[in-house]
Structure 1
Amino acid sequence: MRRKVVIAGGRSKARSLALSMLKQGYEVTLINLSHQDCMELAMIESLTVIEGDATKPYVLEDAGIEGFDVAIALNTKDEDNLVICELCKTLFRVKKTVSLVNDPKKQDFFLKRGVDHVICALEELAELIRQQASVEEIKRVSAPKTDALHIEEVTIPKNAWCIDKPICALGLPDDVIVACINRRHDTIIPNGSTQLKAKDRLVVLTTENEKSAIRILTEKNGYGE
C-alpha cells in the first residue's frame, strides 16, 4: 500500500518536494492558497492539488487526509504551520507531522506542542557555514539542480538602493531568503528588521527560478523605482 503525504504551502519548495516524493512512490496531496500555483501544480501527473487555506479544517477535510502517514507544513508564517500540524494530528489522525520554521527560537515550542519534526532552514544553513571554510566550499557541496535550492553570495555596493533598509521592506520573492550577513568581522543571522549596509556580504538561499531576483540588491534603483 502506498504511503500518503500532504504538503501545505511552500510554493516552489513544495513542488520540488512533491516531485521527489512521487518518485519515491508516495501518494501526494498538495494544498496551496494561490490559484496560479495550483494551476501550474495541476500539470504534474499523479499529484492531487487542492486550492485552499490549510489552516481551515474544512479544507483539510475536503482534501481527504484522514489517516495520512505524513503532513508537511511549509508556509512562510510559523503560526500557520503550527496550526496545520496540530489540526492534522488531532482532527485527522495523521501519523507524523513536519513543520518548517523561520525563527530558530520557536523550534522547542513546536516540539512541545506535538510537532514530530521541526526544520529551520536558517539554522541548518548557519551550521553549514560554520562547518565550511568559505562560501565557495558551500557552493561546491550544494550541487545546483533545476528547482533545487541554490546558495548565492551577494556583496552590497556603496550606492545600492537597499542600504539602511530593513530586509522586510525589500520586496524580495518568498523563495529568496537572506540567510546570513558577513559584516566586517561579524557574522549575522538576520531577521526582517535587519538593515543592510554597504559592503555587506549576503549569503542568500534561493531557487533556480528566483536567482535573477537577487541581482536587484546590487542596483541603484529598487523594485518600481
Structure 2
Amino acid sequence: MFIVIVGGGKVGYYLIKSLIPHNHKIVVFDPVAEICHKIANELNIPVINGDGTDIDKLTKIGLSDADIFIAVTGKDEDNLIACQLAKKNFGVKRTIARVNNPKNITVFERLGVDIAVSSTSIITDLIEQEVDDSGIKTIMKLKKGKIVLTEIDVRSTHAICDKLLKDIQLPRDCILISIIRDDEIIIPNGYTMIKSGDCIIAATSKEKQQELKEYFLKSRKL
C-alpha cells in the first residue's frame, strides 16, 4: 500500500519502523529539518520537509494515489486539517489521526476522519476493565465504537443464571453471540440455559451497553 504519514516524532518514527517490514510505499512529512534527516538516513524512505498541508508538495508526491493518510503530530488541529485536506482535496479513502485530547475523538469523526486514535482513551478503557470486578468487560469496539462486543462471566448470584434464553428479555439492540462453557463454544438458541461459570459474548450498540451490564448484574431474589 501507498501510505503517507504526517509527523516524524516518536509516534511517527516507530509507526514507520513497524510498517517498513511489510513492504509498503511510505512517504513522510515533517516541518523539522533535523527529524527529516534522521528518518531519511536511518529508515531510508522519502521524507518531505513540510507540514503536511502544503498542497503543492502533496500533489508532487501523488497523494491522490495514496491508500492511507496518517497524521500523528502533537497538535490535534494540525492532524484534523491534514486529514480533511487529504480526503476532500485528494480523495484519499482512508484517513487516520492521532488525537491527543480524547474529547476531540467525536469531533474528528464527525468532520470526516475515518479513524481517530487516542492513547489516553485506550489506556483509560484498559484501566476501567482492570478495576471492574463485576465480571463484565469490553473486548472490542467496531464501526468507530458504535458496536461493542462485551464479555460477561455468569455467576451463581446473577438473576439470569439457570434460565433459558427464551425466558430472558434482553435490552433492545443486544444480541448474545456465543457462550463459552468449559472448553465448548455454544451457539445459543431459545432453549439454551445459562449456567454459572458461562462466559457470554454479546454484541450491543454503544448506547445500550450500560443497560446490558445492569441487566446481567441483577442479583437473584432471595
State the TM-score, normalizing by the size of structure 2: 0.56
Residue segments in structure 1 that go unaligned for 5+ positions in a row: 134-225
Other-structure match for 1:24 = 22
Q: What is the identity, as a one-letter code, of the residue corresponding to 2:49?
A: E
Q: What is the identity, as a one-letter code, of the residue corresponding to 1:131?
A: Q
Whether the 8 Å CA contact 2:8–2:39 is kept in 1: the answer is: no
> Is residue 100 of structure 1 aligned with residue 98 of structure 2?
yes
Give CA-to-partner distance per residue, 1:170-210, whole Å, 9 cap, x none.
Answer: xxxxxxxxxxxxxxxxxxxxxxxxxxxxxxxxxxxxxxxxx
Distance in 2, Cα, partners of 1:128 & 1:95: 30
Matches within 5 A, 1:1-225: 3-132=1-130
Q: What is the identity, as a one-letter code, of the residue corresponding to 2:129?
A: Q
Distance in 2, Cα, partners of 1:15 & 1:105: 25
Q: Secondary structure at the match of 1:114?
A: coil
Whether the 8 Å CA contact 2:96–2:113 is kept in 1: the answer is: yes
Whether the 8 Å CA contact 2:8–2:29 is kept in 1: the answer is: no
Q: What is the identity, as a one-letter code, of the residue corresponding to 1:100?
A: R
Instruction: Give the stretch that moved more between structures: 73-82 or 39-48.
Output: 39-48
Distance in 2, Cα, partners of 1:109 & 1:10: 24
Divergent runs of 4+, >3 A: none
Distance in 2, Cα, partners of 1:88 & 1:94: 6
Distance in 2, Cα, partners of 1:28 & 1:39: 15
Q: What is the identity, as a one-letter code, of the residue corresponding to 1:130?
A: E
Other-structure match for 1:156 = none
- Shift, 1:62, TM fit: 3.0
Give CA-to-partner distance per residue, 1:100-144, whole Å, 9 cap, x none.
Answer: 1111111111111111101011111111222335xxxxxxxxxxx
Whether the 8 Å CA contact 1:74–1:99 is kept in 2: the answer is: yes
Distance in 1, Cα, partners of 2:60 & 2:30: 13
Distance in 2, Cα, partners of 1:25 & 1:64: 18
Give CA-to-partner distance per residue, 1:122-167, whole Å, 9 cap, x none.
Answer: 111111222335xxxxxxxxxxxxxxxxxxxxxxxxxxxxxxxxxx
Q: Secondary structure at the match of 1:43?
A: helix
- Shift, 1:71, TM fit: 0.4
Distance in 2, Cα, partners of 1:28 & 1:19: 11
Instruction: Give the stretch that moved more between structures: 5-14 or 45-54.
Output: 45-54
Distance in 1, Cα, partners of 2:127 & 2:93: 34
Whether the 8 Å CA contact 2:27–2:47 is kept in 1: the answer is: yes
Note the aligned Cα RMSD (angstroms): 1.5
Q: Secondary structure at the match of 2:65?
A: coil
Other-structure match for 1:188 = none
Q: Secondary structure at the match of 1:59?
A: helix
Q: What is the identity, as a one-letter code, of the residue corresponding to 2:20?
A: L
- Highest CA radius of gyration, 1 or 2? 2
State the TM-score, normalizing by the size of structure 1: 0.55
Q: Secondary structure at the match of 2:35?
A: helix
Whether the 8 Å CA contact 1:10–1:76 is kept in 2: the answer is: no
Distance in 2, Cα, partners of 1:45 & 1:73: 19
Change over 3 Å in CA distance of 1:46–1:39 after alignment to 2: closer
